[in-house]
Structure 1
């Protein structure tokens, strides 16, 4: 078993302190402070060995290790040292989805992107069977409003994480309550959405832009208009466009949609600056094309 004294603290730290956004055209805003009393619910509309070489030119800068650490908790480097000392035990111990996500966040915070990606891989793999069952529900059923009883039963809490929520979803499905099953699956799967977005950002920071773009595209294929995925996909596209006007225009369109979905959301200021920069790049690319 995983020592109880370490991983709840690691989870609280990772969720409260991890600055998941890569810094690209403009610095993306950090997540608002999160409670440290357990496994908090993530946004319902949804659900970071060192790299061998530094990121290529034009890749986003990494967050500083230990940045934004909450008071009263160990630093990310202290937690990482404890996790490293337990690596053999962690490799064989069963780990909930939320812990896998938190471990990925912890390594991401310390710029250990290859290790972070490994933990995110595990979190995503754990969630895939539930994703398959959720996506098998008809789209019209997934869009229905569940009953108040379902909302109460499937609200995330410290004791009600991925596994209990999946069991509740499966029970609802057996009772032919498709709307209730869909709501419970969405609550269960929230951390896996964040894990895939985080994995994409880790890939981008490690120099794997195609992998990052593919991860964000996968999120949007499952959850159209997911604002985090749209925002970061736009950043990845803009940073790797190299004068490709179509790619720059898609980044601009994605950011426009983020502003429509979240008119006063956490990316408002960043969207304005990023859009201005990408429009400058579009104009420069168009001018270069005309001068040939």
Structure 2
């Protein structure tokens, strides 16, 4: 069950809380969702915003959650598994060992999610930072491929070789992509790179959400912007960037209008998608704020 937010929250802040209950790290998507763009945009030069109200807690992912689900909370009721708090205690006890142990992108993501669920946002960001850094060289290799070739449909054998499984994750898929690139199989390399990099999309979005909840508004917005520079129509990033912009606009009509435009794009991409109902609520609230700012 999702706890209904405190009525003192703004409508958009309440919606952000509910949406973060189903936040997107570790989701499985078709690798086609990655579309390359030249580079990360520069960070915003906007003056630091005044401190926001204390951020609301991010509840754990509910059953039947909307959208691309966050990695299920370890120990969800009825599963007979340790709770996230119990797992976190184990992680804390093993911190010394974890510091020097090699960690996959998937493990870094899971560790970040664990701290995120416990609302320890700086710790979550630390693990997400490591995951972003691990994925960055692979992003550079992917972006170095010819743009037109990256969009070609690969052979069926490539799709089978680069299907993500528990045994075949980021490292294995990245190696397969690199091998195909050396053989000049650009379409195959592009597909395998996209499959390898898919979790890194969730990492970047989760880090942005953790930054927002931790009070780093500019960092959150910059993270979403950087991802959308590489994946222009990624619906989750569009949706959460809109929420971040709207919640931090403080009467800035241009910022509110941009949030509305981002949500319109999400609705175009996914007319009956997981955010359909939320988009209506968010858009109505933003239009109310725009009208109030113009009065």
Shorter-chain TM-score tier:
0.7 to 0.9
Aligned partner (choices 19, 28, 32) of residue 28 of structure 1: 19
Structure 2 unaligned regions, length at least 5: 1-11, 36-49, 64-72
What is residue 189 of structure 1 aligned with on the other side? 197
What is residue 67 of structure 2 aligned with on the other side? none
Matches of 2:102 and 2:261, distance apart in 1:
42
Distance 1:254 1:80, change over 3 A: same
Q: TM-score, normalised by structure 2?
A: 0.81
**Cα distance per residue 1:33-67 (max 9 Å; x no partner):** 99xxxx873454269xxxxxxx9444652224687
Aligned partner (choices 260, 263, 268) of residue 255 of structure 1: 263
The answer to whether the 8 Å contact 1:162/1:189 transfers is yes
What is residue 62 of structure 1 aligned with on the other side? 57
Query: What is the number of residues matched between the two proteins?
Result: 254
Q: Does 1:140 align with 2:148?
A: yes
Q: Does 1:211 align with 2:219?
A: yes
Structure 1 unaligned regions, length at least 5: 1-22, 48-54, 288-292
4+ residue segments displaced more than 3 Å: 29-34, 39-44, 55-60, 64-69
Larger mean Cα displacement after TM superposition, 277-286 or 261-270: 261-270
The answer to whether the 8 Å contact 2:21/2:60 transfers is no
Distance 1:32 1:60, change over 3 A: closer
What is residue 101 of structure 2 aligned with on the other side? 93
Task: Report which structure shows greater RCO (CA 8 Å, sep ≥6).
Answer: 2
The answer to whether the 8 Å contact 1:165/1:184 transfers is yes
Matches of 1:96 and 1:183, distance apart in 2:
20
Correspondences of 1:96-111 after superposition (within 5 Å): 96-111=104-119
Matches of 1:145 and 1:190, distance apart in 2:
17
Q: TM-score, normalised by structure 1?
A: 0.81
Distance 1:67 1:113, change over 3 A: farther
The answer to whether the 8 Å contact 1:66/1:77 transfers is no
RMSD, aligned α-carbons: 2.4
Q: Does 1:165 align with 2:152?
A: no
Distance 1:59 1:175, change over 3 A: farther
Matches of 2:100 and 2:120, distance apart in 1:
21
Q: Does 1:180 align with 2:188?
A: yes
**1:179 to partner: Cα distance:** 1.0
**1:109 to partner: Cα distance:** 0.3
